[in-house]
Every structure is written in structure tokens, then in C-alpha cells.
Amino acid sequence: MSWITQTFSSTIGRKLLVAASGLFLIIFLIGHVSGNFLLFKDDGGQAFNEYTQFMTTNQLVQVVRWLTYISILTHIIVTIILTIHNKKARPVGYAEAHPSANSTWSSRNMGLLGTLIAVFLVIHLGNFWYKMKVGEVPLVTYESEGTLRDLYSVVLFSFSNLWYVILYVVMMIFLALHLAHGFRSAFQTLGWRHKKYTPIIEKVGLAFAIIVPLLFAIMPVYIYIITR
């Protein structure tokens, strides 16, 4: 075994992959939520569609796109391996246990929360990403920009369905819980712990875990209301 495979088959080395991919996904979330803010612009979706056009054609964005695919796959594969390994480390459980006395619920249920997020991702990507890829998106013509793919209309159509709105809102709660532990945990895994910065990281992490999923959750609710 070379030192590289040795490193990444150790528990600590694997956690390095989880933390690095998790932090990359956190950065991705910032970009994703900012871009989607254009949904709130009252221009019939033109700004949003122009942004979509930019995101699917700009070369640099394609690099980031592939980094995101790699991150999510790495994150999912490695966390599944670790979670199975961790379950095996205690074949016989306790008859009586009070884990809430020593740790938070989200920190103990990252696997469950992650699985729910993964299920959501499949639905979410199937709805928007897949339609963009196979071209099941109608076209729209703007005087200034010419003909673009009208993803905005797909978004409007999806979120006029109440069940879809509820699904998205609930899933954002799971994302919030995943981030509430994940954000700070990633820094600890990377060994970035310091008397000065750790309290700040913990506060920023908590704020991030509340604000970003909340902003995401507002979008389907807003669209639902304007399509009524």
C-alpha cells in the first residue's frame, strides 16, 4: 500500500475527505443561494434565465460544477463507508443509554440527516438539473438577450404545487440540522481549533445553518404565493 492509499483508508484520513468535501459544499451553497436570489426579481424571470444561461455556458463555472459533483460523490461515498464502520464498532448496544446528556441530536444523526439530504438531492436534481440536461425546458425570447431556455417557468410550475413547497421546506430543516453540526465539525476535523477563532467559528456556523436553509426555504414559498 502506498502512503497515499494508506492515508485515505485510515479513519482520520477519511474524515479529512469528509471535512474538505463538506466545506466545499458549504461554499457551493453560498453561491447557489446567492444566484437563486434572482428569483425574487420582479422581471418575469429574465434575470434568472440570464443567470442560468451564464451558469451553463461559462467555462470557469464548468470547472466549479465538476468540483461540486466530485465533492458530493466523495462526501456521500466516504460518509457511508465511515458510518458502516462506526456501526460495526459497537455490535452489542446498551440496554439503557442517555446520549442527549453528552451530545447534540444532530451530531449523532449526521448519517440519517445526510441520507435525507441525498434523497432530496435526487428529487431536486431530477426536477431542475435533469430537465436542463435533456432539454425539456421551454424557450423564451427577450429583446435584449435573444432566445434563452426558460428555467424560470419550470421553477414556477414546480412550486405552484403545494406538496412540492412543503417537501422543500421540510428538507431545508434537515439541511439546517446537518449544517448545525457539520460546519463546526469540519473545522475540528481539519484540526483548526484555536481559543480565539473556535468560538467565532461556532457562532458563524450556527448562523450559517439557520440563514442559508431559511433563504432557500423562502424561495418555494414565495413562488407558491405569487403563482396563486
Partner 1 sequence: MNLTLKVWRQKNPSDKGGFKTYKVNDISEHMSFLEMMDVLNEQLAVAGEEPVHFDHDCREGICGSCSMYINGRAHGPQKLTATCQLHMRHFNDGETITIEPWRARAFPVVKDLVVDRSAFDRIIQSGGYVSVNTGGVPDANEIPVPKQIADEAFSSAECISCGACVAACKNASAMLFVSAKVSQLALLPQGKVERKSRVERMVAQMDIEGFGSCTNTGACTAECPKGISQENIARINREYYNAKFTSDNV
Please give the residue ranges that form the binding site for ligand HEM (CB under 6 A).
15, 18-19, 22-23, 25-26, 29, 75-76, 79-80, 82-83, 110-111, 114-115, 117-118, 121, 178, 182-183, 185-186, 189
Taking the least distance from each CB to ligand HEM, the nearer of 33 and 47 is 33
Pair 39, 223: CB distance under 8 Å = yes
Task: Assess 189 for contact with partner 1 (CB under 8 A).
Answer: yes
Pair 116, 79: CB distance under 8 Å = no
Using a CB cutoff of 8 Å and minimum separation of 24, what contacts does 181-187 make?
181/104, 181/106, 181/107, 181/110, 182/22, 182/26, 182/110, 183/26, 183/208, 183/209, 185/19, 185/107, 186/18, 186/19, 186/22, 186/23, 186/26, 187/19
Taking the least distance from each CB to partner 1, the nearer of 97 and 134 is 97
| Residue partners of 185: CB distance under 8 A and separation at least 6 | 19, 107
Shortest separation between residue 179's beta carbon and ligand HEM, angstroms: 6
Task: Assess 82 for contact with partner 1 (CB under 8 A).
Answer: yes
Shortest separation between residue 150's beta carbon and partner 1, angstroms: 43
Shortest separation between residue 66's beta carbon and ligand HEM, angstroms: 16
Interface residue list for partner 1 (CB under 8 A): 2-3, 6-7, 10-16, 82, 85-86, 88-99, 101-104, 107-108, 110, 181, 184-185, 188-193
